[in-house]
């Protein structure tokens, strides 16, 4: 799993292949920003505060215009939502029925190379 025991742990193989970018200063503020290029237009962001309870993976563009994924149990128990190919191929987060309400501030500077 990418995330285990509510810690922000990055799987080495995933990091090696997709070149995750982590800004530790921002991470201390409970946010983990993943390199924009990783998911091209999807720009995934993980919030540590939400992650502690929901193991939540969110899409900033959906968050900005709609809301967060709502099926917490599904997300908490299925780490494949953290997988690039799953989101790229199935675009699950684009399903508005899978969305609920929350807010998360994202610093775009942290996703720039």
pLDDT digits over 27-75, tens only? 322 333 343 333 322 334 443 333 333 333 444 433 333 333 443 433 4
- Is 63 among the domain residues? yes
Answer whether residue 111 is part of any domain: no
pTM above 0.75, yes or no: no
| pLDDT level of residue 11 (50, 70, 90 thresholds) | very low
Q: Per the structure block, which two tokens stand in for 83?
A: 């997988």
Asked if residue 5 is part of any domain, the answer here is no
Instruction: Classify 47 as helix, strand or coil.
Output: strand
Give pLDDT, residue 23.
34
Q: For residue 69, what are its two tokens?
A: 């994924």
pLDDT of res. 80: 39
pLDDT at 43: 33
How many domains does the chain divide into?
1
Where residue 12 falls among pLDDT bands split at 50, 70, 90? Answer: very low
Share of the chain above pLDDT 70, in %: 0
Rounded distance between C-alpha atoms, residue 6 and residue 9, angstroms: 9
- What are the distances in angstroms from CA 48 to CA 32, 57, 74? 7, 10, 18
Instruction: Output the six-digit token pair for 96.
Output: 């508005």
Whether 42 is covered by a domain: the verdict is: yes
Query: What confidence category does residue 81 fall into, taking pLDDT thresholds of 50, 70 and 90?
Result: very low
Residue 113 lies in a domain: no
Do residues 62 and 87 touch, judged by C-beta distance below 8 A? Answer: no
Residue 65: CA atoms inside 13 Å, Cβ hemisphere, count? Answer: 8
**Which domain range does residue 47 map to?**
12-103
Has residue 82 been placed in a domain?
Answer: yes
């Amino acid at each position: 799993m990418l995330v285990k025991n509510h810690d922000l742990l990055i799987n080495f193989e995933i990091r090696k292949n997709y070149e995750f970018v982590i800004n530790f200063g921002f991470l201390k503020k409970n946010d983990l920003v993943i390199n924009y290029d990783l998911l091209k237009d999807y720009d995934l962001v993980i919030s540590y505060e939400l992650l502690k309870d929901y193991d939540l993976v969110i899409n900033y563009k959906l968050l900005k215009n709609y809301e967060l994924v709502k099926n917490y149990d599904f997300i908490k128990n299925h780490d494949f939502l953290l997988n690039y190919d799953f989101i790229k191929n199935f675009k699950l987060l684009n399903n508005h029925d899978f969305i609920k309400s929350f807010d998360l501030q994202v610093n775009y500077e942290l996703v720039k190379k």
